Structure 1
Amino acid sequence: MSSWAVDMEKKLDDVEQPAKVERWLKHCIFRVPLRFKMAIGGVSCIYKPQTVSLGPFHHGDKDLKPMEEHKLRAVRHLLHRANCKTTLAELIAAVDEVVDELQDAYMDLGEEWQGKENRGKFLEMMITDGCFLLEVMRTVAAVEEKGSILMAMDYMHGDPVFSKHGIQHMKPFVQRDMLMVENQLPLMLLEKIVAAEEGKAPSTASINFMVLKFLESEDVPEGINLGLHPLDIYRTSLLNAGMKTKGDKQGQRHPQGLLKIKSWMCSCFKAHQQNIHRDRGVETEMGAPRLPRTNNPQRVVPRSAWKLSEAGIRFVPSSTRCLDDIDLDSWTLYMPKLLIDDSTAYKFHNMMVFEAMHVGTRNDVTAYVLFVKDLMDSADDVRLLVKKMILENDLADDNAAVVRLFNDLTRDVYKNRRSQLCRVRDDLEHHYINHRACVNMYEWWAHLRSNYFRSPWTVLALLTAVLFLIGDIVQSVYAVKGYDPKDHGKAKPKMN
């Protein structure tokens, strides 16, 4: 065997080492692959921390070095606080117990952080970053809690980070960096530091709550395991499907006018009574074709929010803000309210990358973004969703900026046709098929409203045309009724 063949055989033996394969399932913090960066035009700031490095991937970046001094000050204040029950040596020993798990959390961890010779360097970085994050979150909580003795008093009044003034200006930038997929700290690290500091293990809920409160998450899930890292627990808080109850859905009844006759129209034109059967994941409906649930589901052409509204679909805010709280109930599409601001892009981009990279994580956030993108073809769709309180647009630009935002979010994104929201989209299509007559009536009424009821003048012109038409009909009726065939048969008298 030639030398190059021997070298190749050795490479084949080394390429899939058992120890490396075992760590694949343990990875939960990743470097963003080039394909995701290229999809957004190479704009790396969406994935790059701007203020503080957390973890090894951006440690030592020259733009983030100014914060390293403040990290060490955070460790000093934490250890010298009166209620702290640990020393630096004991804290190092406590974190050293889980150092292998901490290293395994990072995929493609650099060689400078691995091996016995670099164990101390990795531990120092983990402890300083973990203590800094704890001190920032606690200081913010103390400053915002009225009537409490501010923990910020441990620091000088003019402290650039941990004073009341400094933390208020630092908070939004640390929040942003905490949601970067490359800039994560395992929450087990925070758990270990708190346990050493307090002399007893904290509850899982307390760690999750502290992180989510700092990130200003409105819904804190209960009864769940310790999050993998801040981005993971933040994403989980947006997908707490257990809070969703159909009976709690809110919203007004259908509007008056033409919509009142919906039930009568449906009863007149509905071909067959719905009777859905489920068999092996495939849904069929007796008497009417049902879009198949197969391994290769049929591509459903999405309709925009404006088109759906014209077809009689009502948009109503869900009872929760969970992104997966979307449901079609009769003629009403329930969706959670979403605030669109300057933070929306980096939050969703990083959560979507995490879903794509982490084994075992569902693509719920990605499916939601794709679903919303399909609803927004133009600024008119955004305007409608804002009016229906589904979106709250806080961008400095116009409504077209929201359309561009979701177009950027979904560029080169894999579309999983088996997600729960794809089933909602299929149900919308099924609704079109089984209620075609009703949909046609709604679309006719919407067309009439948009073309003839936009202003008093168009309404007046329409009424005038209708009155002239009625006049012509009445005149024709009277002419027909006054016509006598006998008179038509009589000969006209001759003139002499």
Structure 2
Amino acid sequence: MGPTDWPEPAAGDESSAVVSDTDEHSEESSADANADETATRVQRWLDEGADAEAEEMAARVQRRIDESADAEAEEMAASMQRRVEALPGKAHESEPFTIFRVAGPMRGRNRHLYEPQMVSVGPFHRGAARLRAMEEHKWRYLRDLLARNNPGGDAPLAAYARAARELEPAARRRYAEPVALPPREFAEMLLLDGCFIVEFFLKGEDRAADALVDAAWAMQNVYNDLFLLENQLPFFVVERFYDIATGGLGRDYLVTSLLAKYLTMDTPQDAATARPPDGEILHLLHLYYHWFLPPEERTSDSGGGAAGKEEEEDEAFWDEWLAKPIHERVPWQMPPATELQDAGVTFRAKASPRSLVDVTFDRRGGVMEIPTAENYANRAMLANLVAYEQSRGRREMQRVASYALLMASLADGRRDAEALHRAGVLAGGDVDEAAAFYTHLCPPPEAVNNCYGEVYGGVREYCGRSWNRHRAVLAHDYFSNPWTSMSAAAAVLLLLLTVVQTVYTVLPYYHPT
């Protein structure tokens, strides 16, 4: 029987047909549900696989990053270790810095006082455009110095070159800033600048004809440049070249027989009796500072060696200094000159000062004696002495800086400067300019180990007495000039006559005749 021969369904079979159709739909729904579930499971599996793959990939990337960071850190550490190992000296060993640039605020106010005007010495100002003219002159001075050793002209320049290469590492360590010059160029700079300094002073001693030495303005400018803190060579370089040039005369002869003639001209020291400082001479400015100020007076101890005795004296000095009240260790700001005069203080120019900083105060008479500033008019030198003091150890007493602070406090305004001028403390020149110079020169008071603690204390004690102030007002108001003095005298005489007349008028009542 073929397909077409199937019997038609009976009417009673419709329900079964419907059931069959329903079953088909159920089967389809179940299949769809299974498919959805399968798809969900597949998607979940795919998602889980993707998450695992993403996590694995992220872990691989992180490992690569960590490995790269570790490699970079190791490379950085190795590079820094090489830099540390290349440093001169040993750990916890202080660097022997002796040549510094002047601090920012002080330098900014007075650049012309700290920068060379004609000749550069050392690396800090090497190659400056304004100083190029003198570079050629250095070579001429080198030729002249070589001719001193051998008039025939074949002087042993190699001896100077060997000395310069030998001294280069130690000389480089004396500069507080890194010097970018390679060793050969640095050694050549030492040779050229050191021989220039030696020949400059030898020409002055010989009084040889030279355009630089004969021109007074040029020599003074060069002389000033050789004593700038930023323009120094270590003294052992100059000493070594002088030794070669003179055949071994040595440091003492260089200092006492040559340099003393020039470095003591503006100091209390006499060239014939000037002696070098104990220990190492740092540079020319240090030697000048040594002769500019008398040695500090400290009690000597007879026991122990020289080094031990010096350490004991330093310890005793600082124990005594720290035991003082704070206002004596860090003195209060000195009032202006006119205010002190109103309180009874009198200013005088010191007749025979030991140095420019030899300031004293008489507590009984109220007289402050200050050396006349005109006795030392080289402001560039004074500014660099202050800068040199600031570059020394923080325990060192700073006498030149103390003097600058004192003068800046006293000459606070025009009237104050005029009062000091009338007293002879400021002599010559513009008093306003002098007052401004000290104001711009001095460092911050808290940065100075002030040597005038006793002077400040004496002034404070004297000004605290009311009688001194009243006496000063009386003298200022009634005896400041002849006319007011005559008026005051007449008033006193009239008062006395009135008192006498009153007495003679009252007496007859008590003693009748």
TM-score computed with the length of structure 2 as normaliser: 0.68
CA–CA distance in structure 1, aligned partners of residues 105 and 267 of structure 2: 32
> Which residue of structure 2 aligns with residue 172 of structure 1?
220
Matching of residue 204 in structure 1 with residue 252 in structure 2: yes
CA–CA distance in structure 2, aligned partners of residues 419 and 349 of structure 1: 17
Kindly provide the CA deviation profile for residues 248-281 of structure 1, in whole angstroms up to 9, marking residues without a partner as x.
xxxxxxxxxxxxxxxxxxxxxxxxxxxxxx9963
> Which residue of structure 2 aligns with residue 142 of structure 1?
206
How far did 1:104 drift? 1.0
Question: What amino acid does structure 1 have at the position aligned with 2:486?
Answer: L
**Contact 1:52 / 1:64 at 8 angstroms: preserved in 2?**
yes
Kindly provide the CA deviation profile for residues 298-356 of structure 1, in whole angstroms up to 9, marking residues without a partner as x.
75352344555562556452644424533445545454443277631x32332222222
Distance 1:210 1:336, change over 3 A: farther
> Which residue of structure 2 aligns with residue 229 of structure 1?
283
CA–CA distance in structure 1, aligned partners of residues 321 and 195 of structure 2: 52
What secondary structure does 1:281 align onto?
helix
How far did 1:443 drift? 3.8
Kindly provide the CA deviation profile for residues 52-85 of structure 1, in whole angstroms up to 9, marking residues without a partner as x.
1111111111111111111001111111126689
> Which residue of structure 2 aligns with residue 63 of structure 1?
130
What secondary structure does 1:241 align onto?
coil
How far did 1:238 drift? 1.8
**Contact 2:172 / 2:179 at 8 angstroms: preserved in 1?**
no
Matching of residue 426 in structure 1 with residue 457 in structure 2: yes
What runs of 5+ residues in structure 2 fail to find an aligned partner?
A: 1-65, 299-316
Distance 1:300 1:32, change over 3 A: closer
Question: What amino acid does structure 1 have at the position aligned with 2:167?
Answer: V
CA–CA distance in structure 2, aligned partners of residues 347 and 468 of structure 1: 59
Kindly provide the CA deviation profile for residues 418-440 of structure 1, in whole angstroms up to 9, marking residues without a partner as x.
5321233123324455xx36xx2
**Contact 1:317 / 1:334 at 8 angstroms: preserved in 2?**
yes
What secondary structure does 1:322 align onto?
coil
**Contact 2:121 / 2:232 at 8 angstroms: preserved in 1?**
yes
> Which residue of structure 2 aligns with residue 240 of structure 1?
294
Question: What amino acid does structure 2 have at the position aligned with 1:426?
Answer: G
> Which residue of structure 2 aligns with residue 182 of structure 1?
230
Distance 1:109 1:212, change over 3 A: farther
Identity %: 23
Matching of residue 351 in structure 1 with residue 351 in structure 2: no
Matches within 5 A, 1:3-22: 3=69, 6=73, 10=77, 19=87
CA–CA distance in structure 2, aligned partners of residues 217 and 484 of structure 1: 76
**Contact 1:48 / 1:182 at 8 angstroms: preserved in 2?**
yes
Matches within 5 A, 1:122-161: 122-143=186-207, 151-152=208-209, 160-161=211-212
**Contact 2:106 / 2:441 at 8 angstroms: preserved in 1?**
no
Question: What amino acid does structure 2 have at the position aligned with 1:233?
Answer: L
**Contact 1:86 / 1:197 at 8 angstroms: preserved in 2?**
no
Kindly provide the CA deviation profile for residues 232-253 of structure 1, in whole angstroms up to 9, marking residues without a partner as x.
2222222223599xxxxxxxxx
Matching of residue 219 in structure 1 with residue 268 in structure 2: yes
Question: What amino acid does structure 1 have at the position aligned with 2:277?
Answer: I
Distance 1:311 1:363, change over 3 A: same
CA–CA distance in structure 2, aligned partners of residues 463 and 318 of structure 1: 33
How many residues align? The count is 413
Distance 1:321 1:126, change over 3 A: same
Distance 1:450 1:94, change over 3 A: same
Question: What amino acid does structure 1 have at the position aligned with 2:106?
Answer: F
Asked which structure has the greater CA Rg, the reply is: 2
CA–CA distance in structure 2, aligned partners of residues 412 and 341 of structure 1: 23
Distance 1:213 1:394, change over 3 A: farther
> Which residue of structure 2 aligns with residue 317 of structure 1?
350
**Contact 2:99 / 2:174 at 8 angstroms: preserved in 1?**
yes
* Pairing partner for 1:468 from 490, 494, 513: 494
* Pairing partner for 1:451 from 466, 471, 477: 477
**Contact 1:355 / 1:363 at 8 angstroms: preserved in 2?**
yes
CA–CA distance in structure 1, aligned partners of residues 212 and 277 of structure 2: 32
What runs of 5+ residues in structure 1 fail to find an aligned partner?
A: 144-150, 153-158, 245-277, 285-291, 487-496
CA–CA distance in structure 2, aligned partners of residues 295 and 471 of structure 1: 51
Matching of residue 477 in structure 1 with residue 508 in structure 2: no
CA–CA distance in structure 1, aligned partners of residues 84 and 456 of structure 2: 41
> Which residue of structure 1 aligns with residue 432 of structure 2?
400
How far did 1:189 drift? 1.2
Matching of residue 302 in structure 1 with residue 326 in structure 2: no
How far did 1:6 drift? 3.9
CA–CA distance in structure 1, aligned partners of residues 183 and 444 of structure 2: 39
**Contact 2:277 / 2:290 at 8 angstroms: preserved in 1?**
no
